[in-house]
Amino acid sequence: MSCFKTQSGKMPCKAKELNLHLTLLGGQSFRWKTQEDKKSSFYGVAFGHFWNLSQTEEFLEFTAHGGGEKKDNDLENKLKTYFRLDFNLSENLKLWKKSHNHFKEKSEYIQSVRVLNQEPVENLISFICSQNNHINRITSMVEHLCSKYGEKIYSCDGVNYYSFPTLEAFSKNLDTLEDDLRKAKFGYRAKFISGSIKKINELGGIEWFDNLRALPYKKARQELVKLPGIGYKVADCICLMSLGHLQAVPIDTHIFQIAQKHYMPEALSKIKSVTPKIYDDISDKFRDVYGEYAGWAQTILFCAQLSRFKEKEDTDGDDIKLKRSKKAKKC
Ligand SMILES: Nc1nc2[nH]c(O)nc2c(=O)[nH]1
């Protein structure tokens, strides 16, 4: 396909610093797949490129397609940023293992999961889709959004690959977006997606996310829950996975149960529903134990749990329903 630019490269990256499988398929992004016959090779779309990624013990190898006419000599840096390769995972793992026995036990086989640094619009809309949903369904919803509102960036073996739609692309279609998504069986998420796009535009458009990156973590989260359909859990996922707030600790039912059993057994023993205060008590506890990168430690525990329950393929089917309080209506 001559209209698609193709570039290949190879960068130093030790396999023990990056578990591609759990990082790409562990419920952070919904745009990656692996080839059935080649379990160590992955393909998917990120940052407007279609990527093929594979690993050796010492290197991460990539081929990137697409990117249109834009000059893009910086693909290696894009991957470095996406995988946050400047974060010293081994050193932090040592600390987290010393911090709590539960982490030491659970992280044994899945240590090198990395927190992705994603584009915020993709992260936000995908996580609206993720509510009460499982990975396969979320993936097909995200694919629907991309093929309908994104740009074709690559084509191979009769399959077209599309970028995630930009805020402008969604905004141009705002008049019909909710109806179209309802017809495509997005259910109540249709209203949340179109409402969030509208609200982001009112709050400042794409630059709003830069402001959120610059705000202290809890202020950024408080801004995010102004959007329809965004509660604390999804806001924390966005803070963690695309705004650089690595202390954000999303609490779903699995993490709640883990907290009940291992971190706060007494305080949570009789708790049946999670109020915003209890949500914060649990995530504060994780921050006390794991420090400023507690959200990364959560990601590793989340993936350990996900591997255990893989047969069910659940992610956010287990979103906790936060008990609403008068103060924090939208949790
Ligand atoms: N690291 C995390 N990834 C997630 N995906 C998802 O759906 N929920 C989570 C989460 O809580 N942490």
Point out the least confidently predicted range of 36-45, 144-153, 221-230. Answer: 36-45
Query: Which residue type occupies 159?
Result: V
Q: Is the pLDDT of residue 308 over 70?
A: no
- pLDDT tens figures, 72-129: 668 999 999 999 999 999 999 999 999 999 999 998 877 799 999 999 999 999 999 9
What separation in Å is there between the alpha carbon of 40 and the centre of ligand 1? 22
State how far the Cα of 153 lies from the Cα of 252, in Å rounded to an integer: 35
Q: How far is CA 135 from CA 116, 127, 130, 160, in A?
A: 17, 11, 8, 21
Q: From CA 265, how far away is CA 173, in angstroms rounded?
A: 49
Distances (CA, A) of 286 to 134, 269, 276: 25, 17, 15
- Ligand 1, residues 133, 139, 236, 237: which to mutate, most atoms within 8 A of Cβ? 237
Report the complex ipTM.
0.95
Q: Which atom of ligand 1 is nearest to the CA of 299?
A: 1
Amino acid identity, position 15: A
pLDDT given at position 110: 74
Q: Write out residues with Cβ below 6 Å of ligand 1.
A: 27-28, 130, 237, 250, 252, 298-299, 302, 315-316
The gap from C-alpha 268 to its chain's centroid, in whole angstroms, comes to 27
Q: Within 10 A of 101 (CB to CB), how many other CB atoms are there? A: 10
Inter-residue contact 11 to 74 (CB < 8 Å): no
Asked whether the predicted pLDDT for residue 2 surpasses 80, the reply is no
- pTM for the model stands at 0.91
Q: How far is the CA of 298 from the centre of ligand 1 (A)?
A: 8
- Summarised one tens digit per residue, pLDDT across range 245-303 is 999 999 999 899 999 999 999 999 999 889 999 999 999 999 999 999 999 999 999 99
Instruction: Map residue 8 onto helix, strand or coil.
Output: strand
Mutate to test the pocket of ligand 1, among 252, 286, 300, 322 (most ligand atoms within 8 A of CB): 252
Pair 144, 270: CB distance under 8 Å? no
70: pLDDT confidence band, cut at 50, 70 and 90? low
pLDDT at 37 over 80: no
Rounded mean pLDDT, 138-160: 95
Q: What percent of the chain has pLDDT over 70?
A: 89
Strand order in 32-35's β-sheet?
6-12, 59-66, 49-55, 38-46, 32-35
Q: Say yes or no to pLDDT of 71 above 80.
A: no
Q: Give distance in angstroms: CA of 302 to centre of ligand 1.
A: 6
Distance 299 CA to ligand 1 centre (A): 7
CB 89 within 8 Å of CB 112: yes
Cα distance between residue 171 and residue 84, in whole Å: 30
Q: How confident is the model at residue 316 (pLDDT cuts 50, 70, 90)?
A: very low
Residue nearest atom 10 of ligand 1, based on CA coordinates: 250
State both tokens at 2.
């001559």
Q: Is 233 a catalytic residue?
A: yes
Write the DSSP string, 237-291: HHHHHHS--TT-----HHHHHHIIIII-HHHHTT--SB-HHHHHHHHHHHHHHHG
Q: Whose CA is nearest to atom 1 of ligand 1?
A: 299
The answer to whether residue 1 scores a pLDDT higher than 80 is no
CA distances from 299 to 23, 26, 105, 184, 238 (A): 9, 9, 15, 31, 13
Which one is predicted more confidently, 186 or 309? 186
Query: Where residue 217 falls among pLDDT bands split at 50, 70, 90?
Result: very high
Mean pLDDT of the chain: 89
pLDDT(305) > 90: no
Residue closest by Cα to atom 12 of ligand 1: 299
CB within 8 Å of 64: residues ≥ 6 apart: 6, 7, 8, 49, 50, 51, 75
Ligand 1 atom, smallest distance to 254 CA: 11
Pairing mode, strands 6-12 and 59-66 = antiparallel
User: Which tens digits make up the pLDDT trace of 169-209?
Assistant: 999 999 999 999 999 999 999 999 999 999 999 999 999 99
Predicted local distance difference test score (pLDDT) of residue 327: 34
